[in-house]
Structure 1
């Protein structure tokens, strides 16, 4: 991470035009920068948050209780400097040129694609992931089963795979890539699928064979395709708004659980965390909710894969004033995950807590809906690597290390769940 104060950057930067479409018709982010902006008061946060209403110049990458990560267009550095002076806050530079990271990522993906095989030295497209799933299903027909969650707004099928070696296993549901730009999530999900089916390691075999796995590698299929074809930084769904020219809603604010409470989502259709015009307005979330309801008696644990920040987040997201009845158990489980990951040679550190407590209010999220409305008592958002050096544009070289961390973390998480009595057979099995 490069720590450069904003005034110095302002003195050095040459202002150029903002995001533009290149020859390949993909949106470019030349000279866009990402800053960590520290604040102390609710008033400071409120002023800084208003900047992201100007989506052309400011994008929110990450928010915690004392800082924002903002992507800033080269034409808006002056405005950011003015707001920092006005609020008496400071900014540090994380990423000096977002497009350079995207170009490096593209080059790595192209190099890894030359032999035409599916793997984890690159980020795969939706078509590649689905073709690979077909191969997996054909190769392991006795222990794998395809399922369809439903259809997206643009008519794409949201697919999943069930892995089950025997009956009467506790169930684990993994939801991945609900936010389109978080490519490390589907890369990790597919790596785990492969490990569960091919690894000869005793630890992995025990994990794979003693749980039923329901894995949705890409939930936000329209947004995911859009990030590959048009805009690498896209987050939301792709359904048009009836009240705005802005497209899409934040699917992780669209579940019917404390929807829009406590400023936990935006009512502005142009905002990255727009909760939608109503709960379940996004067909992807409506479909996912119906799928979860159909198997809820088989699900003991739900894990929602996200990036970035290296966090384990439990309910509640809508309030930091209240905690779930089994919050202490969930913190024990989260600690087991974090300790296991940190024990690996990479030394990666995960923090944990409730979503609202460690970050900010986020209402209408998957984990709260699963916990509050469907009785899934162990429900986490896992925010993968990193803490800001690369953010959403995590180089492909990180895929396998991140996935290895997820594997050892989930192993420890489920072992602690078993110790605490959360993996017994549920009513209805």
Structure 2
């Protein structure tokens, strides 16, 4: 009996060590594959669903970006060659990008929090606490709910005047998209501290609801275990694979028109049912409770540099399509005028990128009646993908602020910022 207990104790220790070991991506490569039709695109996507040696980074508009292990490199080359699909290296060693991303604090990180590196959840939460303590008259805490693993999903409201039209920002729904929470925290700081007249108008004439990290469990997992993790962390009873794609889990045309996967191992697995993921149910409940106060819904994502409006489940455009495109065009034009010359495209999710049912922007538009609802895919277009170097954080944030200033101005011009409640 004693030996049996000793064995179990040793086994538990070994399992803990293994689980704490960070996944490495030495000599993993990311390829851009040009596809000639939707069928070829689906072939490549299925590789990622069927094997842990492949990971889908991007798919749509005639090309797929896929990460491949060194063990399956020749297989991928032969596979694409046999179907005459051109192959181009985008990232030659994924681990080298990850290593370069792990910078240390610098003197630019004022008050122990800045935007020259990426932060784990605990430090983001400390930053929110500091903001709430420093600006108690215009900020308040938002309790969105609790994740599967028991973490609090936190947000912050910035309101200078009662009765302002509302803008909601959902960020880091996909765990590996670190630039999104970095941007959200930077925007919080700008809205509270900027002395620029246009930014002050933006801050003080709108109520801001900002959730820096929605997928808290997945985000922690990317920092502690697997940098490339995308989904939630809730186990699936019918599979050994973990988690669902939270941006396919909203109860809005869930699983329609091949806009998500029923395979639990897929990166776009929609979950066992709509709102199966507690994080998504919680956010939907909160947004529903204040929907009459919201005029704009923005979901921050990376990467691709594109603004995506509803719909993702169908190619049929929404009724206010022209207005949605005019607002997106204003964002794109403003960003491109900056010295960085970042180019954003725009369109509906299904038309400009791919079918995506059960996504935030569709749910907010169709179920919460927020008529300006977008997914914004941030930098870049594939050179770094999800592993955007910290040196680009501030330039990207400056892009985003310029885009939002033009976005909101155009939305106001078109009549979308009228207060919806009394």
Alignment of 1:253-268 (within 5 A): 253-268=248-263
How big is each residue's C-alpha offset from its partner over 1:223-282, in whole Å with a ceiling of 9 and x where there is no partner? Answer: 000000000000000000010010000000000111111110010000001000100000
Q: Distance in 2 between matches of 1:323 and 1:151?
A: 35
Per-residue CA deviation, residues 146-174 of structure 1 (Å, 9 max, x unaligned), is 01000000000000000000112110000
Match of residue 351 from structure 1: 345
Work out whether 1:153 is the aligned partner of 2:141.
Answer: no
C-alpha deviation, 1:115, in angstroms: 8.8
Q: Which residue, 37, 42, 47 being the options, matches 1:46?
A: 42
Q: CA deviation at 1:196?
A: 0.5
Q: Which residue of 2 aligns with 1:413?
A: 407
Q: Which residue of 397, 403, 427 corresponds with 2:397?
A: 403
Matches within 5 A, 1:23-422: 25-106=21-102, 108-109=103-104, 117-320=112-315, 322-422=316-416
Separation (CA, whole Å) in 2 of partners of 1:305 and 1:234: 17
> How far is 1:43 from its partner?
2.2
| Consecutive unaligned residues in structure 2, runs of 5 or more | 1-16
Moved over 2 A (4+): 21-24, 109-116
SS at match of 2:297: strand
Displacement of 1:46: 2.3
Whether the 8 Å CA contact 2:301–2:376 is kept in 1: the answer is yes
Decide whether aligned partners of structure 1 residues 387 and 112 sit closer, same or farther in structure 2, where only a CA change above 3 A counts: farther
Aligned partner of residue 263 in structure 1, secondary structure: coil
Moved more, 113-122 or 354-363: 113-122
Cα distance, 1:26 vs structure 2:
0.7
| Structure 1 position 86, deviation (Å) | 2.6
State the alpha-carbon separation in 1 of the partners of residues 242 and 146 from structure 2.
Answer: 18
TM-score by length of 2: 0.94
Secondary structure at the residue paired with 1:261? coil
- Alpha-carbon deviation of 1:53? 1.5
Which moved further from structure 2: 111-120 or 189-198?
A: 111-120
1:68 is paired with a residue whose SS is strand
CA distance in 2, matches of 1:375, 1:384: 25
Distance (Å, rounded) in 1 between the aligned partners of 2:416 and 2:65 = 36
Q: 1:360 to 1:223 in 2, by over 3 A?
A: same
Aligned residues: 406
Contact 1:355 1:361 in 2 (8 A): yes
